[in-house]
Chain A
Amino acid sequence: MEHDTDGTLLRTARAALVSGQGALNKGWHGLFHIPFRAWLSYLIARRWLFIAFAVGAIILNLPQPDGLTREGMIVLTMSVMATILFVTEPVPLPTVALLLIVGEVLLLGRASSEVARSLMNDSVLFIMGSLMIAVAVVKQKLDRRIAFLIVRFTGTRTANVCMGITLVSGVLASFVGEHTVAAMMLPVGVTLIRLTSDDPAQVRRLAAVLLFSISYGASIAGVGTPSGGARNAIMIGYWHQFFYNPTDPATWKYAVNYMRWMAFAYPLFLIQVPFVTAVLFFTFRPKQKNIARAVVRLRAQLADQGSMKVSDWSTIVIFAVILLLWIFASDGIGLGIVAILGAAAFLVVGLVGWEEINNGVNWGVVLLYAAVISLGVQMKETGAALWVAESFLALLEPFGANQGFGLWAAVIALTTAVTNTMSNGAAVAVLGPIVLKLAVVANEEPLVLGFLTAVASAFAYLTVVGTPACTIVYASGYLRTTDFLKAGWKMVLVSTIITLFAASMYWPLLL
């Protein structure tokens, strides 16, 4: 049993605070009648919140470092506090967004209307739209047809089935996002496991291989196209905000469009597919080398679906149009507007109801991304990102890692460490401004360091909470947290080597 965040203590404290022999009814002096244990319980339950505030207070009272403005110091303090709250989750995460918004007005002295404006941009529209599309796509039940295609073409060898799952999960995830694919493919994986054996002990290793094929397949592909994940849209937004100047042709390359992103990132996904299967088989060594029984039974289950329905074709057509618009029109109207248009199309055609979308999207996450992106922009505008970049570079200098290959490896290591403790979108939102300024200071190409950050944010193979796909497959109940570590470190190694190889040999051809 996991994820214990001391709610008991909170409830104890609340119960004591509310009941507390009517302490509050006695007026303010009644507070002194609240049992000490209730106060203590409350403090322990919210300890990370208080620690975050204490750390913030300490940083704000430290002497101002050379080269950092007061505003920059405040933004940095808010970033550190937000990071602590992201990782430890003492309060519901959308609360962090609310605190950041309040902080920008009260601590930085920005006008509230200005802050409100900074919360909505194309990246946020894209996140919102793609989540709505994700719900609409999952609701269409195309997963059965996809599963049928996989088991039809892969045969019955476990390795082939796993590679088929990795490839199909990856291709889908690269366009519709890894959470969508994990939600669609999890039943396929679990059904194959259940059809092999009802005894979890018999299929533990097989379950790990099948389920990780889904999550790692989706993770490595999530960076394949801009629509593969929020982090990609966030990085595209940062490049645009930090470097793009419509009057300067030399900066036009920073308006990265759909195809240009794919040219950089898609080959990395395709190269990694066989490595995923190899790493998983090497790590878990399933007893069942052939799952003919399960595949045949699954084929039989899926064979009676009948021909494609109008709703199936409508879904495919709408998604194809969205994809074409992303590729050919997003330069002009933005990725976000295309995503919103796609969501609207699903609603207009009636393939999904608003209530289904409303219940399926966690709007708090959209708010959270909006606030973190807004903070990221403040990091740049106040000079905080530049100062952190310079300091980080100074740290790397003694190791010779302040430029070139060493710097790339350091950026990948930093991003991998951060992304394994929080969502990859949040990791890119927090690190993006710093890494892009780092590129400027170190005289490196911002596109390369930006891509390294975006790609490495997918290396969250080590923990359950690292990526949405990992969280979703873990919810099946077949995996242990230690399984992520066992396979994850090998995946981190493989992905790092492939990415560094791409950065040194392949990406220069595209710049």
Chain B
Amino acid sequence: MDRPDEKRFRILVCIDGSDESYRGLRYAARLGGGVDADICLLFVRPVDQGLRSGGLEARVVRENLLEWGLELPGTKHLKKGQEILTELGLMSDDWAQQIVHVDKQGDPLGDNSIIYTSRNGKKVTLKLEVAPDIVGGILEEAEGGGYDLLIIGASERWQTGIIKTIWDPAVAQKVVARAPCSVIVARELEQGRGHLICTDGTDNAIDIARKDAILASRCNCPISLITVVPETATEAEGAEILLRTRQAIEEEGPEVVESLLKIGDPVGEIVRAGAEYSVIVIGRSNKPRKWWLFESDIAYQVLERADNSVMIVR
């Protein structure tokens, strides 16, 4: 894998053919529209399990489909993603094209990428990866590719409760728990309704708010702030948290259009207020990734209960 250029903003979009994944891609196109951003569309195919196809290798089936001139599902989904990017004006036919193949997992198809590069160096990569499992493939790419943002559609049933969460979480749940970068879990991701950034006034939260504000400014998304204070606290304390966060953001340039002060249960208030926005942005604690699933982290609960998209910032 090429060494990623650390100055460039890199977005990884997981494509599984669902509407959610394509909505996520459209959002990625908006965030990564600038020349300093690269986008990678990733489809992960689990390694074939011979017993499932009765001892006949799945490659025989694939070869037969290809000989009929039919596309394999992964290729089809990635191609549709490419068409969306072209339709949005993010790509054009005159981009240079490079094909990369890597043998992997003893699978004859292995990993295949097509890297499209514009004249000014912007890259869009279509990647078909084979991995023992889907989460493994996504995380391997996220870790190796030095991405700043990962977008994944919550197209599967989101498991709730500690036991189900630990035992059999959905793909997006696992990815969000273990990804090395910020993750947007796309649910009915609509553009143009802005980012709602959650803050509790800690240095970590303010830093996260600053980072997301810069990201939101890439797509000219309106930025709003929310803080929820307990009933025992005063409104002045909440206002002070909002002010400090706002100042930190505006020092970087972006403008905050709205500040919301709520009192009560943080998760409920954030989810309720966040329903009006494109994305709820919330930071997660710095505890070890695996333990995050075990605890009742507010970010995780917001992710679990929200009906719209949530971005977990690391």
Binding site for B on A (CB under 8 A): 1-8, 10-12, 37, 40-41, 44, 89, 92-93, 127, 131, 134-135, 138-139, 141, 143, 177-180, 182-184, 186-187, 190-191, 194, 200, 229-230, 359-362, 364-366, 368-369, 423, 425-426, 465, 467-468, 471-472, 475-477
Contacts and interface: CB of A to CB of B under 8 A. Distances in A.
Indicate the member of A8, A360, A364, A423 with the most B CB atoms within 10 Å: A8
B288 A37 contact: yes
Contact of B44 (A1, A41, A179, A465): A1
Contacts of B51: 93, 362, 364-365, 368, 423, 426
A364 B106 CA distance: 14
Interface string B56-80: 1111111011011010110011000
Contacts of A369: 55
A187 B135 contact: no
B185 interface: no
B234 interface: no
A352 to B, nearest CB: 11
B55 A183 contact: no
Contact of B135 (A6, A134, A184): A6
Nearest to B169: A4
Interface string B37-52: 0000000101001111
Contacts of A2: 46, 134, 156, 171
Contact of B60 (A138, A366, A423): A138
A190 B70 contact: yes
27 contacts: A1-B171, A4-B133, A4-B171, A4-B174, A8-B133, A10-B132, A11-B140, A37-B288, A44-B166, A131-B54, A138-B60, A183-B61, A186-B65, A230-B54, A359-B57, A359-B59, A359-B108, A360-B57, A360-B59, A362-B55, A365-B50, A426-B51, A465-B52, A467-B54, A471-B53, A475-B61, A477-B73
B64 A187 contact: yes
B262 interface: no
Contacts of B58: 472, 475
Contacts, number: 153
Contact of A360 (B46, B56, B134, B136): B56
A468 B56 contact: yes
B213 interface: no
Contacts of B61: 182-183, 186, 472, 475
Interface size class of B (residues with CB under 8 A): 35 or more
Given A93-B49, A477-B73, A177 B133 contact: no
B54 A41 contact: no
Secondary structure type dominating chain B contacts: helix
A475 B54 contact: no
Given A1-B171, A7-B136, A11-B136, A361 B65 contact: no
A472 B290 CA distance: 35
Most chain B beta-carbon contacts within 10 A, residue among A143, A191, A362, A366: A362
Nearest to B175: A8
Given A362-B51, A364-B51, A475-B62, 5 more contacts: A1-B14, A2-B156, A4-B133, A179-B55, A476-B65
B55 A194 contact: no
B306 interface: no
Contacts of A11: 136, 139-140
Contact of B65 (A5, A180, A187): A187
Contacts of B270: none
Nearest to B73: A477
Given A8-B139, A10-B132, A190-B65, A364 B50 contact: yes
B146 interface: no
Contacts of B135: 4, 6-8
A10 B139 CA distance: 12
A507 B82 CA distance: 58
Contact of A3 (B17, B64, B133): B133
A252 B233 CA distance: 88
Contacts of A40: 290
Given A7-B133, A191-B70, A186 B290 contact: no
A4 to B, nearest CB: 5
A5 B132 contact: yes
B299 interface: no
Contact of B49 (A41, A89, A467): A89
Contacts of B62: 475
A242 to B, nearest CB: 25
Contacts of B57: 359-362
Nearest to B58: A475
Closest 6 interchain pairs by CB?
A: A362-B50, A477-B73, A468-B54, A7-B132, A7-B136, A365-B55
B155 interface: yes
Nearest to B50: A362
A228 to B, nearest CB: 11
Contacts of A7: 131-133, 135-136
Given A7-B136, A8-B136, A8-B174, A477 B77 contact: yes
Nearest to B289: A37
Contacts of B30: none
Contacts of A359: 57, 59, 108
A472 B17 CA distance: 18
Contact of B53 (A10, A127, A179, A187): A179
Nearest to A362: B50
A476 B16 CA distance: 13
A183 B60 contact: yes
A498 to B, nearest CB: 24
A191 B71 CA distance: 10
B218 interface: no
